[in-house]
Structures are given as structure tokens and as C-alpha cells.
Amino acid sequence: MRWAVIAWALAAAAGPALAEPLPPCAGAIELADIRVAEARPGGALLLADGRKLQLEGVILPDARSDRAPDIYAKEAAGALSDLARGRRIVAAAHSRLKDRYGRIEAQLFLPGNPDDPWLQVAMLRRGLGRVFIAPERPECANELYAAERIARARRLGIWTSRAYAVRAPDGIDAHDRGTFQIVQGKVVSAAVKNGRAYIDFGADWRSDFTATIAPDGMKLFRKAGIDPRTYAGQIIRVRGWIDEYHGPEIEIAAPEDVEVVE
């Protein structure tokens, strides 16, 4: 993957470890030339100085929460360790946010590694993660989705398993409730009521799959110039956690969590 040149003055000021360009979407360099002491399951990295990083924009497989065979979680943990443990790393973000465990969430890069310089992309292209874009971190959505599509098309890693297969709207069952899933289908109707959007994939909203957008999410859609009602009649792909309200439901967190397929 070739990226456009970022702010070279910043790279030069940070030292030779940052001589390679980062993708423009990544944001400012927050931490540079830091060594990874340990890679932990779930995408967390413990640094040699005691700080913690978290892969931003990617959910790695977890056997328990995914209700899936543990082989994929073990494979992901092993790959992350092979890629990052003992290596020097660069963390870039648009704002230094921490999750509830005190980990800095960022796009992570491996200077001097020409084959797998972007850690998130490396995991996605191996089929060892799925994209999930947080509302406050949408910048690298296109790049991450492109990497996920490569692995899915090649049926690598998790994409060989029924547990991680893209669901049809009528293919969601009770076993999926509470799990993170990707659902693709044709939108039958879309409406906005009391500030909340309802995107229906079936004729009966009482039992068929629905994607919803909460009022806070609607603010992001308006900011992006997207009216969810225009999804009616289109085939889209949505992702999030399966809940149950009448029928199965996903609450869409951000515009970037919707892909228009056709």
C-alpha cells in the first residue's frame, strides 16, 4: 500500500525512526520510537515504559464474546505478538483518547517493516480482525475497510468460520444476540421518528431485522451530509452488536459503520 506524504517536518523532528511516511488519515504522531514489551489478547500492547496502547478501529476475535472457536483468537494473539513484541512502534492519532482501561487508542505503525508497516492493516489483511469505527475516530475507515475486504474475499482467518460470516437480515438467530456482527441486505424502508432513524430490512418491523441510529448518531449523519432515509431500496452493510427490540437490531454508532454495496 502506498500512502501520500504527511508532514515531513514532523517526521524529521521526531528522528530517523519516522523517516517513512504515514497515511494522512492517521493524524499527528503521539508517541514515537517506543518499544513494545508485550502484546496482549484483544489488541492491547504493553510498552516497555509501562504505558498501554490499543489498536484503534479494529476488533480482534475473542472466542467467548464472539461465541466462536478459540482457534481464531489464538491465531490473532500469536500474529499480533509476532508483529509487535520487541519492536519499536509509532502511535498516531487525531486526539490522545484513552479507553476505560487507560490504554491510548491509536493507529500503530512499525518503522523499518516494509511488509507490514501498519499494524491494524496487517491484522485485517490476515483475516484476524474486523473493522469497527468509533464515532470520534472515523478518519481511517476507507483504508481499514479495504484491508478487511481483501481478507474476506480470500477467505482468510475468521472469514472461513460461520461465526464470523456476514449475516443476511433473515439469517440472524438467538445465538447471535450480544455478539458483534456484520449484516448485509436490501433496505425495505427507512424513516426518522422522534430524532431516531429506523432502517428496516423486512416488511414486518415487529420481527424483522432493523438498524437504528440514535439521536446522537443522527448528529454525525447530518454533519456528514447523509440522510439515512436515502438507504431505502439500497443494499447496505452495517455492523455492530446484535440486540433485540421487537426483532433483531443493531444500533449504528457512526456513518462509517454503514457501507453502501449497491
9 in helix, strand or coil? helix
Whether residues 18 and 45 share a domain: the answer is: yes
Whether residues 18 and 71 share a domain: the answer is: yes
Element (H, E) at 117: none
Whether residues 147 and 179 share a domain: the answer is: no
Q: Could you read off the pLDDT of 109-126 as tens digits, one per residue? A: 998 788 889 999 999 999
Whether residues 156 and 34 share a domain: the answer is: yes
Given a cut of 80, whether residue 18 has pLDDT beyond it is: no
Whole-prediction pTM: 0.86
Whether residues 176 and 109 share a domain: the answer is: no
Read off the C-alpha cell for 60: 480482534
Please say whether the beta carbons of 129 and 144 come within 8 A: no
Whether residues 214 and 114 share a domain: the answer is: no
Whether residues 49 and 131 share a domain: the answer is: yes
Q: Give the domain-ending residue among 136, 160, 184.
A: 160
Total domain count, the chain: 2
CATH of the domain at 173: 2.40.50.140
What confidence score (pLDDT) does residue 238 get?
97
Residues of the domain holding 173: 166-260
Whether residues 95 and 172 share a domain: the answer is: no
Q: How far apart are CA 79 and CA 38, in angstroms?
A: 12
Whether residues 24 and 151 share a domain: the answer is: yes
Burial of 225 (0-12, 13-18, 19+ CB in 10 A): exposed
Whether residues 87 and 155 share a domain: the answer is: yes
Q: Could you read off the pLDDT of 62-89 as tens digits, one per residue? A: 999 999 999 999 999 999 999 999 999 9
Please say whether the beta carbons of 168 and 184 come within 8 A: yes
CATH of the domain at 98: 2.40.50.90
| 40 phi-psi bin (left φ>0, alpha ψ -120 to 50, beta other) | beta
Mean pLDDT on 82-110: 84
Would residue 1 count as lying in a domain? no
